[in-house]
Chain A
Amino acid sequence: MSYLFNTDDDRKAMLQAIGAESIEELFRSIPAETQLSRPLNLPAAMGELELQQHVQALASQNQNVVDYCCFLGGGAYDHFVPAVVDEIASRGEFYTSYTPYQPEVAQGNLQAMFEYQTMICQLTGLDVSNASLYDGGSAAVEAVLMAISVTRRSKVVTCDTVHPHYRQILATYLQSLDAELVVLPATDGVVSLEQLQACVDDTTACVLIQSPNFLGSLEDVAAIAELVHQHKGLLVTVFDPIGTGILARPGDQGADIAVAEGQTLGTPLLFGGPYLGIMACREGLVRRLPGRIAGQTVDRKGRRCWVLTLQTREQHIRREKATSNICTNQGLFALRATIFLSTLGPQGLADTARLCLRKAHYAARRLTDGDRFSLAFEAPTFKEFVVRDRENRVGELLQTALEQKIFAGIPLGTWYPDLADCFLVAVTEKRTRDEIDRWANCLQTGTAAPLPAKNGSTTVSNPPASQHA
């Protein structure tokens, strides 16, 4: 096997140095009756070429967003990833290193973490960011747990406009804890302020909302913040990092803790992970913030440098009293986000956000210009929106589009029974006017114009080896 070094001669010499007769002797501390007396039942070993052919065959059974036209969102989006992100993130010095426990030989990672934290503060308008959590869902849940711990209150209020997965994870985490979870139903696709007012009280630790929400609509974050703060609770907002190119930042709208799925910042779709959990908060909450944090300091010669800091919050020191059990951060994906945001800059992020907004609104108008489709809600939207099929044949419709190589939308009936005649559509900057027209025609007529050859599709379907994602 090409990753192992020891030859038979090495093994002999090493055993001799150890003073052991055989390899088996080294395992003698495992009682013989416990040892497995047969080989593991696993498929036979494959060399690199064989493995590549095998995996390529399996991969080709998946329909992918390079060959298909993707209008799916729902928490994972087909945004553009500049080549520099893949190039740099595929450097072994980054991706084969580990947690920077020895800062003297990890300044690259530590400085990148510090830059990441700064950029997340810039995106959120908040004071402090950690170095990332697993994904948007776990970040939302960790934020709620943090709010419970900070306020020493136990009631958590959210709305069904928050990503269903995030709400499900929250319910899982809270089931064994002494906390009460209230999920309010949406009114016309957004949180009802009246209902929220009736529900939030002085026992409320936090309100968890998402804006733009799972249904694409913008929530009235500022009004919700005011309401929560009247009761001295915290507001946790799930935001869209790309949206901050044009939309007001969660911190500026009154959020105390902002969380997000960072996949949109330079990570491909990857069938759902690994992704990037973004989390930032106000200054006063930093000591309850979970996860790693890089901090600036100086070395013995007074040179500026970076270390992991505030480590006493973490499990390896505080054990059962830690702010969370979380150990890893998503270092590689935080790095990708840092490279992505550096490359885009303020102008690139604003342009991307504007393209998403314009194209999504164009798509919504194109589709609803006939009789069959209408927008389900009136609230303002950014890059995602819910379409109602007046003929109530969503499954069939999406299937037809699939046959035309279009992922046309996500059916909503599973999570929202009263939206069974609706589907969720996301339009990113990558969708061209041609693609949007084809999508709209296909849904309206059940057919699509022939697929024009996509520029560069042959190169993209054979990505470089450097795709560390």
Chain B
Amino acid sequence: MRNQQATQLVFELSRVGRRGTRLPDCDVPSDEPIESLIPADQLATEPPPLPEVTEADVVRHFTNLSTLNMSVDTHFYPLGSCTMKYNPKRNERLAGLAGLAQIHPLQPDETIQGVLEILYAVQEMLAEISGLPAVSLQPAAGAHGELTALLVAAAYFRERGEKRSVVLIPDSAHGTNPASAQMAGFRAVSIKSTAKGFVDMADLDAKLDEQTAVLMITNPNTLGCYEQQIEDIARRVHKKGGLVYLDGANMNAILGIARPGDFGADMMHFNPHKTFSGPHGGGGPGAGPICVAAPLCDYLPCPALVRDGDDEQARYRLNYDRPHSIGRVRSFFGNVGVLLRTYFYIRSYGADGLRRVSEDAVLNANYLLSKVRHFLPVPQGDRCMHEFVASAEPLKKQKGLKQPAMDLGKRLLDFGFHAPTVYFPLTVHDAMMIEPTETESRETLDAFAEALFRVIEEPAETLSDAPLTTHISRPDEVQAARKPVVRWTPD
């Protein structure tokens, strides 16, 4: 039952004179011509050519569009590295309370003590979970947290009179790592990984020297393995005077089990939209709070949220008097809405609950791994943390497929499962990165494994034509990139 209206653009539904809302009449004197208030050359000749539709048009159009999406609320979404866990409804309701959603960021501190208390508690919780005592909630996303921390490191070395220009990054890292290093004024140097995604220690030693400012590392790594050499790596970096940055994308595996501050990290970011269930929103918003070791505290962004006085009499305020700070990285106070959900999430679980989250995330991943490895090679072996990377490479020869991981992913869509992350990390050929999360049942994992098994057995033509049942078939990405059409224009 395809409703064709859904796929018309809202502009194509437009009819001159239709309206979706009506503003009140002006209740203040409005006799003066507008030109006497604003010079004529600063006025538009007409308003922007937005679509003219009714409220009912808007509702039907966007509701129909929503049905064309897969989402966590409707489907299993084992997108590796993205931690697509369930987004609790209570968090949405609470974040919408007028006392949290309807407050202006420049209100005086005494009128926002409640929200500051929550955010202060988030700082304390993240410090405890990370084992790193100083926290800034300002960065707006994980990549933004990376950049912020690297600027902190740069300021730290600058103040110590050290000139260090290099950031070392394993080749299995997220692309944001080298891009952030570049933006912070460093040169990104790649370090080789072993087949299991571990740091190649010889290559590390060859590249590590007094020029090294920071080593950025993801642990558990992007293959879903715990980097067992992490403390040794940190020791070597520290010995050369460098700092260790932990990309916290995979914290869902180790909550309450191991703390980055304890295994050698000096700085890290969290992805609350992954680890602490902030809804992904179709690609954002996220948040990227960072935690750092005590010697780096003074360099964190401005303002800092501080508490004066003891529990009962405590007052919270934003402290702008931070002479060593790198400065501001985000307007106002960051993505507060995401941080509120972090608070609700952690308060809902408590310490034991959070540990249980990681236990079940790792249990689910290992359970799925134990099934998948019977029909696809998993180069990292028979154990993983919260995710694992299978390789679809054998299907290249078996079936003559050019991009087997993509084809399998596309075919899974027909079975009602979102595809895993494919072709990342680059260190595994035809990678399929599978992260089930803790908020899935054994029955769902069984059904997914069963579907994957069936899909692998299918003829090559079916796979390369897939998906067959979705609203559209594969789009022509070459045409989209060669002759970009990135906005609608009237005929």
Contacts and interface: CB of A to CB of B under 8 A. Distances in A.
Nearest to A348: B21
A136 interface: yes
Contacts of A419: none
Interface stretch (A184-192, A227-235, A311-319): A311-319
A463 B96 contact: yes
Most chain A CB atoms below 10 A, which of B18, B87, B279:
B279
Given A91-B63, A331-B281, A348 B96 contact: no
Interface residues of A, number: 214
Given A51-B90, A64-B103, A29 B228 contact: yes
A328 B283 contact: yes
Interface residues of B, number: 206
B353 A107 contact: no
Contact of A163 (B10, B128, B331): B331
A97 B280 contact: yes
Nearest to B59: A84
A96 B21 contact: no
B256 interface: yes
Contact of B383 (A29, A414, A433, A466): A29
A40 B129 contact: yes
Most chain A CB atoms below 10 A, which of B48, B141, B174, B441:
B48
Contact of B20 (A104, A299, A331, A344): A344
B336 A271 contact: yes
Contacts of B230: 34
B7 A107 contact: yes
* Interface of chain B: mostly helix, strand, loop or mixed: loop
A326 B73 contact: no
A463 B230 CA distance: 48
A272 B90 CA distance: 21
Interface string A17-30: 11110010011011
B37 interface: yes
Interface in A1-16: 1, 3-6, 10-11, 13-15
A58 B119 CA distance: 11
A343 B23 contact: no
Contacts of B410: 102, 104
Contacts of B51: 342, 345
A106 B48 CA distance: 28
Contact of B347 (A51, A67, A352): A51
A17 B96 contact: no
B263 A300 contact: no
B163 interface: no
A410 to B, nearest CB: 5
Interface string A105-127: 11111011011011101110001
Contact of A60 (B9, B48, B108, B114): B114
Interface stretch (A195-203, A289-297, A443-451): A289-297
A19 B277 CA distance: 30
Interface in B27-85: 27-30, 34, 37-39, 41-44, 46-53, 55, 57-59, 61-63, 65-75, 77, 79, 82, 84-85
B352 A320 contact: no
A384 B198 CA distance: 56
24 contacts: A4-B360, A19-B370, A35-B257, A43-B350, A72-B106, A84-B55, A88-B66, A93-B66, A95-B280, A105-B413, A115-B11, A135-B140, A145-B183, A246-B34, A273-B140, A273-B330, A274-B140, A293-B484, A327-B141, A327-B143, A345-B19, A351-B22, A460-B98, A469-B95
